Amino acid sequence: MKKIKKYHQIQDYIKKRIQTQKYPPDSYLPSENEFCVQFGTTRTTVRKALDELLKEGFIAKEHGKGSKVLERGKYLGLLSIKGFSGSTDYKVLTKVTEEPKIVEWDPVIGFPLSEDEKSSKCVYFQRVRYIDNKPVVLENNWYALNALEPIRSEEFVEGSFFKTLSQEYLIEIMGAEQELRSVPASGDNAEKLGIAVGAPILHISIRFRTSRPNLNLYGDLYCNTTEYPIRNSYFL
């Protein structure tokens, strides 16, 4: 069996403690010297582990203070409302409009499925994101049943599916592909977004790659950007 490098051991140890809130957001990690003693290693190795966590967005280094744990839950999935993460002026709410359930794959998904995914049914759920009680994003989500069991919405950590993956399953988002286009709102989409049928909305097809083999998350989003512009964010 291939031996795991020491810095990977330290990186995984710290990451799991961040994911499970043992190192909560805005707190500071123990010093490099403390990790050296704990793992019986050098500061160079500890720094390598911290550099990897920095690249993954788990921590930020502050001069004279050390490594600060970053908040990973102040975003609307990987698409967020501009200015939302630093503002308390918006009242933000997510409603699950269709509970997670086992279904066949929907041909509307904008990316080709892998052979493993094709051999499995999928889990589907739908959410609507509200800002100041106005619906902003209608979100359809799918993932392969053979990669992850259905998770009930009441089990979502702080109402967040992505935070649930991170904290309860230790699954991280590793990257994403997306396609954007302007489309007229259909009847069902218009009703759920509270806009006129045919009004222009932003349609986003997205596929998230995760740290679990064979688990991709597929999204089909319809965004009303009239009042709230959408921006990318890779924190959850």
E strand or H helix at 116: helix 115-118
CB 118 within 8 A of CB 216: no
Is pTM beyond 0.85? Reply is: no
Q: What is the pLDDT of residue 91?
A: 75
Other C-beta atoms lying within 10 Å of the C-beta of residue 145: 15
Q: What is the pLDDT of residue 138?
A: 94
Segments of the chain scoring below 70 in pLDDT: 1-3, 72-90, 230-236
Alpha-carbon gap, residue 155 to 147, rounded angstroms: 18
Q: What is the pLDDT of residue 78?
A: 43
Q: What is the pLDDT of residue 87?
A: 37
Set out the domains of the chain in order of their start, with CATH numbers.
Answer: 6-69 (1.10.10.10), 79-232 (3.40.1410.10)
Q: What is the pLDDT of residue 85?
A: 35
Q: What is the pLDDT of residue 66?
A: 92
Q: What is the pLDDT of residue 80?
A: 47
